[in-house]
Amino acid sequence: MKVYFQKERSIARIALNRPEKLHALDPEMLDLLGNFVEELEQDFETRVVLLEATGDRAFCAGADINAWSGLSPVQMWATWIRKGHQVFERIAATRQPVIAVISGLAFGGGLELALAADLRLASTDSFFAMPEVKIATVPGWTGTSRLSEIIGVARAKQMILSGSPINAEIAERWGLVNEVLPKPELTERAVALAEQISMNAPLAVQTAKQIIGKSPGAVLEALAGAMNAFTADAQEGQTAFREKRAPKFQGN
């Protein structure tokens, strides 16, 4: 299978598994990622997700050019671009924190996938790039927006307009990754961090994730909706609706 999925107690692990192509993303892999994230959305036992890749040559070299180069502009938009947006947005929006574990290359769509995670840990030999301009296109899976949010507009422009890679040391200095570790220590540290997070109150962790970096309006709306949904008045409103009568609200 091109993407593995397994659960170990409170931690789920999603691993790209196409090492012969440096884990370049194709439609099947996007579908598998989407399916696994959908499963996680209904999973109340998993508290943290590790997003990684088999082998150590690459986390993900990007989108498989053979999967999209033959598409028409309409097909490109309707299938390939939209599918990537949908899957990456679902990863970013999962209730559980997602930690990307990066060893080797994270280029183009691969870097965009890592950007959809909440935290990024990288090995010292990792390299990061948005090289799309070198083949006369641009980042297509939210790379321009997420990269700007994480490292700032000027640095995002430098990476995207030049297409040149940066090493792990620069990535950490710019805030693109949270920690850089020797390759033999990377997985152990990622698991330790996942376990540390999973020991905390899950609803508090998940609520904090939704609040951080989001617009105040969306956060307040979500909290207000949750609070009001469990008031006595809300129960009365639902009961009155079912009984086809006017509700009698008490303000509590």
Instruction: Spell out the per-residue pLDDT of the chain, length 252, in tens.
Output: 999 999 988 999 999 999 999 999 998 999 999 999 999 999 999 999 999 999 989 999 998 888 777 767 777 777 778 888 999 999 999 999 999 999 999 999 999 999 999 999 999 999 999 999 998 889 989 999 999 999 999 999 999 999 999 999 999 999 999 999 999 999 999 999 999 999 999 999 998 998 887 756 666 676 677 777 778 887 887 888 888 888 888 888
Give the model's pLDDT for residue 79.
Answer: 73
For the record, the structure tokens of 1 come out as 């299978």
End-to-end, the C-alpha distance of the chain in Å comes to 53
Give the span between the Cα atoms of 35 and 12, in whole angstroms.
14
Active-site positions read 112, 132
Give the model's pLDDT for residue 213.
Answer: 78
Give the span between the Cα atoms of 197 and 49, in whole angstroms.
10
For the record, the structure tokens of 98 come out as 């997602």
Give the span between the Cα atoms of 203 and 47, in whole angstroms.
9
For the record, the structure tokens of 185 come out as 């220590």
**Residue 186: closest CA among 168, 165, 173:** 168
Give the span between the Cα atoms of 66 and 57, in whole angstroms.
20
Give the model's pLDDT for residue 238.
Answer: 82
Give the model's pLDDT for residue 239.
Answer: 87
What global pTM score does this model have?
0.88
Give the model's pLDDT for residue 216.
Answer: 60
Give the model's pLDDT for residue 7.
Answer: 94
